[in-house]
Amino acid sequence: MTEEKDGKKYTTISIPTPLADKIKKRIEGTGFTSLSSYVTYVLREVISGMEEDSEEAFSKEDEEKVKDRLRALGYLD
């Protein structure tokens, strides 16, 4: 279910009540103002470690040119 609050869009996720209670206790006195803000924080942290990487390599010719530049700067031998 998606809902809008203060112009922001939210969706509802179900987690076991005992877990929710444990989290509520854990976040007491921390900067987290709600169970949702804590769960959002944790999920963002977890998901960022799963980002896909699709780095393109240099062509052989370009690689040589880059190496020459870096050697000229004294950064590669």
Partner 1 sequence: MPKPHGGKLVNRLVKKDVSDIKELPKIEINTNLAEDITNIAKGVFSPLEGFLCNNDLENIVKEKRLMDDTPWTIPILLDFNNEEIKEGETILLSNKENGVLALVDIDEIYTYDKKTLAQEIYRTKDTNHPGVANINNMKQNLLGGKITLLDCKTREFDEYNLSPKETRFLFKEKGWKEIVAFQTRNPPHIGHEYVQKTALTFVDGVFINPIIGKKKTGDFRDEVILASYETLMKHYYLKERAVMSILRTSMKYAGPREAIHHAIMRKNFGCTHFIVGRDHAGVGNYYGPYDAHDIFSEFPDLGIIPVFFRSFSRCTKCNSVVNDKICPHDQKYHINFSGKKIREILNNGEIPSEDMMRKEVAETILKFDKPFIE
Task: Kindly tell me which of 14 and 59 has the beta carbon lying closer to partner 1.
Answer: 59
Q: How far is the CB of 73 from partner 1 (least distance, A)?
A: 7
Task: Kindly tell me which of 53 and 61 has the beta carbon lying closer to partner 1.
Answer: 53
Judged by the rule CB under 8 A, the positions of this chain that interact with partner 1 are 7-8, 31, 41-42, 44-45, 47-48, 51-56, 58, 63, 66-67, 69-70, 72-76
Task: Kindly tell me which of 17 and 59 has the beta carbon lying closer to partner 1.
Answer: 59
Give how far the C-alpha of residue 23 lies from the chain's centroid of Cα atoms, to the nearest Å: 21
